[in-house]
Structure 1
Amino acid sequence: MDFTLILVLGTLISGLIWLTDSLLFKKARVRRAATGVVADGSPVVLHEPLLVDYARSFFPILLVVLVVRSFIVEPFRIPSGSLMPTLLVGDFILVNKFSYGLRLPVLDTKILPTWEPKRGDIAVFRYPNDPKIDYIKRVIGVPGDHIRVEGNKLWVNGTPITETYVGVYPGDDGMRMAGATVYRENLLGVKHDVLFEKDGYEKNGEWVVPPHEYFMMGDNRDNSNDSRYWGFVPEANLVGKAFMIWLHWDWKDGKFDASRIGKGIH
C-alpha cells in the first residue's frame, strides 16, 4: 500500500478519535472524577481510555510528518545508477516538494502553483507507465523544445550541446561503470557530468516536447531508461526537485560514505 495513503489514514483516524473523545466523552469523565470518591475517601483518578491516549500522542506527530513530507521535503533512496556520476546507488536524497507546486497528498491535485521545471533540474516524478513507481532523471527538454539525439550527441532547439572531456571514471564504491568516459556537458548554461560507455547502447531520435510535458534523461547516458524509450513526463506526474544528499549507504555492498553527506545536487 502507498505509504502516503497510510500516513493520511493514520493522521485522519487518530485525529477523529481524539476529537470525538474531546467533544463527547471527556467532559463526562472529568465530572465523574470531580464528584466521585473511592472506598478510602480519596478522589477518583481520571483515567483516559488507552485508545484515546494513543490517538492524542500520535496525532501531532503524524500530522507534522504528513505536512513536511507532502508539502516541504521528502526523502528518497537512489536504487540504480542511471544518474551516475551525479548520483550513486545508495545515495539518500532530499526532494523539495514546493519546487513544482503544492499538491494534495494521495490525490496529487495541485493546489498552489509555484515554479516550473527548468532544463538541468534533477526531478523526481511518477513513472508514466506505472505511476506507483518513482523515477529520478534530469530535465533535458521543457514544453516546446525540439530534442535530437544521435549517439553521444545531443541537440536542443537546433543547438548542439557541448561536451568537454574530463577523464576515465574510476567506478563507484561497488566499481560500477569503472572505465566509462566522463564528459562535462553544458546544457544551455547548466554544467554537469555525464557518463558514456565505449560500447554503450545508442537510442537515436527526435522529439518535440508537448505542452505541460517534459523530456527526461539520465546522466549515465548508455544505462538509463528514460524519455528516449518511453516518452514524455506529464506535468501532473512531477513530485519535486532533488537538492541534497543526506546519507550514502549502499546496502548491497555495505558501503558507507560520509563524504557525500550534505552534498548538493546539481
Structure 2
Amino acid sequence: MNYKFWQKKKDADKKKKTKTREWVDAIVFAVIAATIIRVFFIEAYTIPSGSMERSLLVGDFLFVSKVNYGARIPMTPVAFPFAHHTMPITGTKAYWDGVQWKYRRLPGLSDIKRNDVVVFNFPEGDTVALENQNPSYYDLVRNSDWKTVNSQYTITSRPVDKRENYIKRCIGIGGDVVSMTNGIVSINGKAEPLKNTGMMPYKVEFKTNDINFSVFNDIGLKISDIQQTSNPMVYVLNASSEMADEIRKFDFVKSINMAAEPAGEDGGLFPHDPNRKWNVDNFGPVKIPAKGMTVQIDSNTMPIYYRAIRTYEGNKVEKKGDGWYINDKLATSYTFKMNYYWMMGDNRHNSADSRYWGFVPEDHVVGKALFIWMSWDSEASFFHKIRWSRLFRGIN
C-alpha cells in the first residue's frame, strides 16, 4: 500500500511540472553542461588582431583544447556563465573575487612545446585602467607616472583566470635561452628563422615608379601592407620570407631586404632596464625560468626576474642598500616554483608579446589552439566573406 501511495505521489508530481518548469530545467542543464565542456575540455576563441598573421587571420574562429596541457581548475569559481571578466550590457564585473582558489591543473596529454600556438591570460593584466586598456596599465605608468594614471582612470585588479586572453606562439620553454638579432630569433644559440607563417617588414627598391601593385595580390600580399617611403622608388611592406623570394623575381624589383631595427636602439621593451637597449628585432640573451631553476640575485638579474619573483610567485621583494631582500631575508639566489614561457606573434612588427612584458607563467596558460572551425573576412564582398579554404584547418 505504501508503494502505491508513493507511486501516485510521484505521478502527481510529474503532472504538476509545467512547461515553464521544463524549459527552466532544460536551460539549467544546458548551461551546466556547456560550462563543464568550456572549462575542462574545449572552448571557442576569436582572433581579434593581426599579431599572428599569416598563421591566423583576423576573423578566424578557433577551438582551444583544455585537455592537451591539462585543464586548469577555476581560480575564481564564482562567475557568470559564458562571460569572461565583464558583463556585456552593464559593464560590471562578471565574477566575484571574494573566493579565490590556488592554482591547480589536471593531468594533460603533453607539456607545452616550442612552436605550439597557445592561448593564455595576459601577464600584465593584473591591474587595468578601465577607460584605456591599450596600452596596458604598466605602460601608462611608465610613460607618465603612478599618481597621474591613478587620478585619470578607474583602476581595477583582475585575478589570473579573468585577465584578457592572448594567443601567441611559444618560442621558448623553461630553461631555454632566447635572443634575437636583426629580426632572427635564436633558441639556445641556434637561429630559428620565421617560416612561411610569419611576417616581417621588408624594404623594396623598384627600378621604376610605374608599378602595377595588383600583382602583389597574387602572392597573398595586401595593398594596404605596402607603404611608400620618402624615396618614391622605395617601399616598405610586411611579408613572409617566401613572399620576399617571389617579389625578388619580379623584373621591376631592384632589391628587397629585411628592414630590421638597428641594434643598440632602445625600444623601451622588457625588462625596461636603462642598461639594456633592446628593441623588437634585437634583444637578449634571456634565460627563461623553469620550475626548480635557481638564479643568482644581483643588479644584473633582478630587472629580468623581479616581476616573476614578486608578482607571479607572490613574494615580498625589496631593495635595501646594495642587497635584495625576499620575504624580509637577504637573498643572493632564488629558486622558481613554476615553469615560464616566452611567447611571440608570427607578425613580428605588429605583435605585443613577451618582448614587451616578459615571461608567461604556467598558471596563466589556458590551452592549445587546435583548429579553425570558421573564418570570416569582414573586408570582403558579401558572397566572399567566408574563407572556405580555412575551414577546419589545423593550426601549426
TM-score by length of 1: 0.71
- 1:175: how far off? 5.4
Q: 1:183 to 1:173 in 2, by over 3 A?
A: closer
Which residue, out of 107, 116, 123, partners 1:113?
A: 107
Which residue, out of 123, 126, 133, partners 1:128?
A: 123
Matches within 5 A, 1:6-21: none
Partner of 2:241: 183
The 1-side partners of 2:386 and 2:115 are apart by 28
Poorly superposed stretches of 4+, deviation over 4 Å = 27-30, 163-176, 199-202
Q: Point out the more displaced range, 108-117 or 144-153.
A: 108-117
SS of 1:65 mapped into structure 2: helix
Q: 1:203-236: per-residue Cα shift (whole Å, max 9, x none)? A: 2211111121100000001111000110110000
The structure where strand makes up a greater share of residues is 1
- 1:49: how far off? 5.2
Identity of matched residues, %: 33
Question: Aligned partner of 2:183: which letter?
Answer: N
In structure 2, runs of 5+ residues without a counterpart are 78-100, 126-159, 203-215, 227-236, 243-256, 262-266, 268-278, 291-338
The 1-side partners of 2:394 and 2:51 are apart by 18
Q: 1:67-102: per-residue Cα shift (whole Å, max 9, x none)? A: 221111111000000000000000001111111112
Matching of residue 90 in structure 1 with residue 90 in structure 2: no
Matching of residue 76 in structure 1 with residue 203 in structure 2: no
Partner of 1:218: 345
Partner of 2:171: 140
Matches within 5 A, 1:149-228: 149-162=180-193, 170=217, 177=225, 179-183=237-241, 198=259, 202-203=279-280, 204-206=282-284, 207-211=286-290, 212-228=339-355
- 1:183: how far off? 2.5
Partner of 2:145: none
SS of 1:155 mapped into structure 2: strand
Question: Aligned partner of 1:98: which letter?
Answer: V
Question: Aligned partner of 1:152: which letter?
Answer: G
Which residue, out of 251, 262, 266, partners 2:392?
A: 262
Q: 1:163 to 1:90 in 2, by over 3 A?
A: closer
Q: 1:109-153: per-residue Cα shift (whole Å, max 9, x none)? A: 434222211000000000011152000000001001100012311
Partner of 1:31: 9
In structure 1, runs of 5+ residues without a counterpart are 1-26, 35-43, 185-195
The 8 Å contact of residues 88 and 172 in structure 1, kept in 2 or not, is answered as no
Q: How many residues align?
A: 220
TM-score by length of 2: 0.49
The 2-side partners of 1:165 and 1:245 are apart by 18
The 2-side partners of 1:121 and 1:165 are apart by 16
Partner of 2:254: none
Q: CA RMSD in A?
A: 3.4
The 2-side partners of 1:245 and 1:163 are apart by 21
Q: 1:92 to 1:163 in 2, by over 3 A?
A: closer
Q: 1:88 to 1:236 in 2, by over 3 A?
A: same
The 2-side partners of 1:75 and 1:164 are apart by 26
SS of 1:222 mapped into structure 2: helix
The 2-side partners of 1:145 and 1:100 are apart by 19
Partner of 2:24: 55
The 1-side partners of 2:165 and 2:366 are apart by 9
Partner of 2:363: 236
